[in-house]
Amino acid sequence: MFLEILVILFACGFTAGITYLIPTGNYYHYWAPFLLLIGGYILGVLFWWCILSVYCQIYKKDKEYKKPSRTANFWLCDAIAYICNHGGARVKVKQSEPFPSGRFMLICNHISKFDPMILAAKYGYKYDLAFISKPTNFKIPIGGHLMAGSCYLSIDRYDKLKSLEVMNKAIDLINNNYCSIGVFPEGTRGDDPHHMGEFHEGVFMIAKKTNCPIVVTTINGDEMIHKNFPKRSTKVDLKILRVIYPNEYQEKTLKEISDYCYKIMDESIK
């Protein structure tokens, strides 16, 4: 994580600067440099997050960007990785087959607000992955601006017309080779990590109209992060189950594609 490196460098520079100005022989306690490191780290966190909060203002939350910014996506994914790491998330990835070489649609079950964060931290920048997300997430300080700049799409699942507009935007992003799209077909978080809600089959129109592969994933364990923090870390299992290529679903209806993906994921989480 680049942000972590910057914070550590700030802490080291702060400690070195203070010890240069006040020679260690003048310290009353031998552990003073360690306290300076801790203080420098805290100041470094505040400093770099302030810098990031100023930088992110370049991207307007309410503006629709036609092409994602790689810089915005980098800082978004790096900041998310920093938060997940310090939140105690210890992600174990099990991948049955490699990601496709081109653009794709990634689908995942939805059990926690950390689901898109874990996926973005792992694959967001590497694969230019933008998620379809609920409108309230765009109100998050710093994150909302960077999400907009990364072409994350805000969807109101209760408005069918606007939902269709979002689907068409996602299709354009893939067709123009701008980014891949991440979707949670359940539409909302479930209460039981071992049982998925019903899929909204309409989201599979993105794959159907772009002829892109569908990367089928499941996640488990991250619903415990907020409960375990700060006492202990949380083991999160992220599985890349299948990559379904267009030739496998071209003749299927949206309902059939949805049911097929549901079955693969349901067997995994149970």
In angstroms, the CA 113 to CA 132 distance is 13
**pLDDT of 181 over the 90 cut:** yes
**pLDDT of 30 over the 80 cut:** no
Give the pLDDT score at 17.
Answer: 85
Q: What order do you get walking across the sheet with 153-154 strand by strand?
A: 89-95, 234-244, 214-220, 105-108, 180-183, 129-133, 153-154
Give the pLDDT score at 24.
Answer: 56
If one counts every other C-beta atom within 10 angstroms of the C-beta of residue 169, the result is: 18
The reported pTM is 0.93
**pLDDT of 26 over the 70 cut:** no
What is the amino acid identity at position 262? Y
Mean pLDDT along residues 219-234: 94
CATH class of 59-269: alpha beta
Please give the structure tokens belonging to residue 220.
């488990």
Cβ-Cβ contacts under 8 Å for 16 (sequence gap 6 or more): none
Give the pLDDT score at 29.
Answer: 61
CA distances, 162 to each of 13, 91, 168 (Å) = 50, 35, 10
Read off the pLDDT band of 119 (50, 70, 90): very high
Give the pLDDT score at 221.
Answer: 95
Higher pLDDT, 191 or 236: 236
Kindly give the pairing relationship between strand 129-133 and strand 89-95. unpaired
Domain layout of the chain by residue ranges: 2-55, 59-269
Percent of the chain with pLDDT over 70: 96
**pLDDT of 28 over the 60 cut:** no
Give the pLDDT score at 23.
Answer: 64
**pLDDT of 64 over the 80 cut:** yes
Report pLDDT digits (tens) over 35-47. 888 999 999 999 9
Question: Which residue's entry shows tokens 């499941």?
Answer: 218
Please give the structure tokens belonging to residue 204.
């599979």
Higher pLDDT, 237 or 31: 237
| Mean pLDDT for all residues in the chain | 92
Give the pLDDT score at 81.
Answer: 97
Report pLDDT digits (tens) over 67-98. 999 999 999 999 999 999 999 999 999 999 99
Read off the pLDDT band of 189 (50, 70, 90): confident
Give the pLDDT score at 193.
Answer: 81
By mean pLDDT, which of 28-32, 128-132, 209-213 is the weakest? 28-32
**pLDDT of 205 over the 80 cut:** yes
By mean pLDDT, which of 24-33, 126-135, 226-235, 241-250 is the weakest? 24-33
From 252, 257, 253, 248, select the one nearest 97 (Cα to Cα). Answer: 248
CA distances, 260 to each of 70, 132, 160, 269 (Å) = 33, 21, 24, 15
